[in-house]
Amino acid sequence: MKVLITSDAHGNAKLFDAIVKKHPDVDMHIDLGDFLLDYHDYPQTTFIRGNRDTWSAKEEQLITTIDGVKILFVHGHLFHVKNNLRTLWAYASKNKVDVCYYGHTHKKGKNAIHKIMFINPGAVKDGFYLIANNDIVKFYNIHDQDETPN
């Protein structure tokens, strides 16, 4: 399954729309919060509430299984991810997830901690997002060609 994952648009509809338009072939789109736009305009997107999102109808997390992989989607602020990933790791471990996608820090990247892969798509407001397709995760910058973290 091909999944578009975005986070931290901070109201930048122009970049968000450009990213969505560039990838019409995705099976799913999940936004990890701090969207600050009207989510009703994007009915195909699943939204996770971030610390700057004022609407209360959306979830603060999503745990689901995609292609046999148990995944946790969060914004990250409730787990203090700007400090470190310890609290998020403990929660992910307790819920027996394989992968955790989070935002909030605006820093794209991925790293494994005790058999759980933690992945941050970066901030849409800076042009960053990612596509996950089965076990392949590819980072993109809407301003440049695609790129992968070192």
Q: List the single range of 50-59, 67-76, 105-114 with lowest mean pLDDT.
A: 50-59
Q: Kindly report, residue by residue over 87-127, the tens digit of the pLDDT.
A: 999 999 999 999 999 999 999 999 999 999 999 999 999 99
pTM: 0.93
pLDDT tens for 120-150 read: 999 999 999 999 998 899 999 999 864 555 4
CATH level 3 topology of 2-141: Purple Acid Phosphatase; chain A, domain 2 (3.60.21)
What residues does each domain of the chain span? 2-141
What's the pLDDT tens digit per position in 15-30? 999 999 999 999 999 9
Q: b/e map of 68-101 (b: 16 or more CB within 10 Å)?
A: eebbbbbbbbbbebeeebeebbebbeeeebebbb
